Amino acid sequence: MAEFNAPANEAEFDKNFAQLKPHMTKTQAYLESSRCLFCYDAPCIKACPTAIDIPLFIRQIHSGNVNGAAKTIYESNYLGNTCGKVCPTEVLCEGACVFVEANEKPLEIGRLQTYATQQVLANDKDLFTLPETGKNKVAIIGAGPAGLACACELRLHGVAVDIYEAKTKASGLISHGVAPYKIQNEEAWGETDYLERKFGFRIFYGHPVTEVTQTKYLEDNYDAVFIGTGLGKTSQMGIPGEHLQNVFGAVELIEKLRDQKNKLHFPGNVIVLGGGNTAMDAASEAARMGAKEVTLVYRRSKNEMGAYEFEYDLAKSVGVKAIFNAAPVEILGDEKAKGIKFIRTKEVQGKVEPIAGTEFVLDCDWVVKATGQEKHRNLFSLIQGLHTDAAGKLLVDAASYRCMATKYFAGGDAVSGGQEVVNAAAEGKQAAFGILTFLNKE
Ligand SMILES: Cc1cc2nc3c(=O)[nH]c(=O)nc-3n(C[C@H](O)[C@H](O)[C@H](O)COP(=O)(O)OP(=O)(O)OC[C@H]3O[C@@H](n4cnc5c(N)ncnc54)[C@H](O)[C@@H]3O)c2cc1C
Ligand code: SF4
């Protein structure tokens, strides 16, 4: 079990958050690519949401055609470098590798992918030739993976694209949600800056779309609009004490951590509430920041956690403890959170039920809520004709990603309710084809 001291400077921070998938050297890439069996009907391709021709790019790396490999990757996935580092490959491409069935180590597809794309990013290579811009203009709200992928594909078809982004940098949750031991901001922005330069779309930074005059402007001045706004801030749990100091939403805290690094000080005991991947990330990150004790508390059983097993293993490997079947009742404290009162739970026909008389208190210095993210209901309510499901996810046509008979299209977390970067990249690209068909008909 690894133990971490609070990082005193950026070098110590980087050591505590050492990359899970470090870059390969040329020799490592050559040797690893030699293991590929170039399967006919390769299962890894089917397991990749962007259907990258994995055997082809691995063969290109092996024969020294690294730019060709990167082009193969980017033709399918515009976030190719990022995905090589952050994809849950254990349950996607690498999990499907034929070596797994033979109890052998699967090919390191993610690292090979990043190896090829890194060379292109570092050398600022041109991979695509863009056609002249035609008469059509599309607006995109949000420069996360979905919005960026949509923009790249549209530009490749001669459509002018303007992206309106609330923050001062592109990349969405890649740079303010994903754990820093998977990708650092500089690497994430290295790829998004490259895409912005090479595909020639405009991004208006610091430009949140929040008012009806803005959506009206987009409708009047663009031929179609793509919504790639992802999810909002951490949801409220609706229990007393949530307003206290030292109670944080996981996404907000991770964003702060990625921004402030060693300057953010984690205290003694941290309780993380939740059982999904965000909870695992927040707990692992608190442990790597030198918190004395990190305890995950989940209201259901271990088997019902939404988190991948390997993410839970990673949290345990850095000393995170877990308590299952306990639900928070109240966060205790006057100004600051000092502890949480829990009650034991059982599951009856899939529903969580408290067990009377089983309350207990855990002391803590910080509470981190990883209990889901809100939907952008305010933005959606400004746009006539948009429909959402009961959970607030945007409803779209499954093939074109068009929002019910409007000039709006949408993809990524705003539609799925929260998946992975690779899914958002796939959907943004797919929506671009939906938009192209729509523009041609119009
Ligand atoms: C804590 C955490 C860890 C994660 N870890 C991983 C991981 O390890 N691997 C992985 O593959 N996936 C991970 N994910 C999921 C992944 O980050 C998302 O699925 C993906 O980023 C979704 O892309 P998106 O483009 O739909 O939305 P986002 O990435 O959320 O991007 C939306 C963009 O829209 C902007 N925006 C929002 N509202 C407005 C508005 N009104 N006007 C203008 N701009 C707006 C936002 O600022 C943002 O830039 C993680 C998610 C979280 C929360
Ligand atoms: S994009 Fe992700 S899932 Fe697809 S091949 Fe690359 S690492 Fe695997």
- Cα 435 from Cα 171, distance rounded (Å): 22
Token pair in block for residue 326: 């306990």
- Using CA positions, which residue lies closest to atom 19 of ligand 1? 420
> What is each CA distance from 265 to 29, 256, 396, in whole angstroms?
38, 11, 43
Please classify residue 417 by burial: count the beta carbons closer than 10 Å to its beta carbon, then call 0-12 exposed, 13-18 middle and 19+ buried: middle
Helices (H) and strands (E) in the chain, counts: 19, 14
Ligand nearest to the CA of 255: 1
- Positions in the chain whose pLDDT score sits under 50: none
**Predicted local confidence at residue 3, as pLDDT:** 83
| CATH of range 20-122; options 1.10.1060.10, 1.20.1530.20, 2.60.120.860, 1.10.287.990 | 1.10.1060.10
* CA-closest residue to ligand 2 atom 1: 83
The protein residue whose alpha carbon is closest to atom 50 in ligand 1 is: 178
> Is the shortest distance between the CB of 83 and ligand 2 below 6 Å?
yes
Distance 87 CA to ligand 1 centre (A): 14
d(CA 278, CA 274): 8
Q: At what angle do helices 145-156 and 421-441 cross, to 10 degrees?
A: 40
The rounded distance, in Å, linking the Cα atoms of 306 and 299 is: 12
Answer whether 143's CB lies under 8 Å from 131's CB. Answer: no
CB 354 within 8 A of CB 344: yes
Q: H/E/C letters for each residue in 147-170?
A: HHHHHHHHHHCCCEEEEECCCCCC
Rounded Cα distance between 170 and 148, Å, is 8
Q: Is residue 153 within 6 Å of ligand 1 at its C-beta?
A: no
Q: So what's the pLDDT on residue 210?
A: 97
Ligand nearest to the CA of 234: 1
Q: Identify the CA nearest to 182 among candidates 110, 230, 233, 267.
A: 110
By most ligand atoms within 8 Å of CB, the mutation choice from 57, 112, 117, 422 for ligand 2 is 422
- Which ligand sits closest to the CA of 412? 1
pLDDT digits (tens, 9 = 90+) for 119-172: 999 999 999 999 999 999 999 999 999 999 999 999 999 999 999 999 999 999
**Distance from the Cα of residue 183 to its chain's centroid:** 11
Assigned architecture for domain 247-369: 3-Layer(bba) Sandwich (3.50)
Per-residue model confidence as pLDDT tens digits over 425-434: 999 999 999 9
pLDDT at 230: 98
Question: From residue 97, how far is each of 48, 51, 297, 357 by CA, in Å?
Answer: 11, 14, 34, 50
Written as one letter, the residue type at 265 is H
Q: Is the CB of 229 under 6 A from ligand 1?
A: yes
Q: What is the pLDDT of residues 182-210, one digit of tens each?
A: 999 999 999 999 999 999 999 999 999 99
In the chain, residues under CATH classification 3.50.50.60 are: 137-232+374-441, 247-369
436 vs 131, 221, 406, CA distance in Å?
15, 17, 14
Strand (E) or helix (H) holding 442 = none
Per-residue model confidence (pLDDT) at position 404: 86
DSSP for 310-326 reads HHHHHHHHTT-EEE-SE
CB neighbours (10 Å) of residue 102? 9
The ligand 1 atom at the shortest distance from the C-alpha of residue 164 is 43
Architecture per CATH, domain 137-232+374-441, reads as: 3-Layer(bba) Sandwich (3.50)
C-alpha 274 to ligand 2 mean position (Å): 27
Sheet-wide strand order for 408-410: 202-204, 160-164, 137-141, 224-227, 408-410
User: What pLDDT, on the 0 to 100 scale, is given for residue 203?
Assistant: 98
CATH 1.10.1060.10 domain position(s) in the chain: 20-122
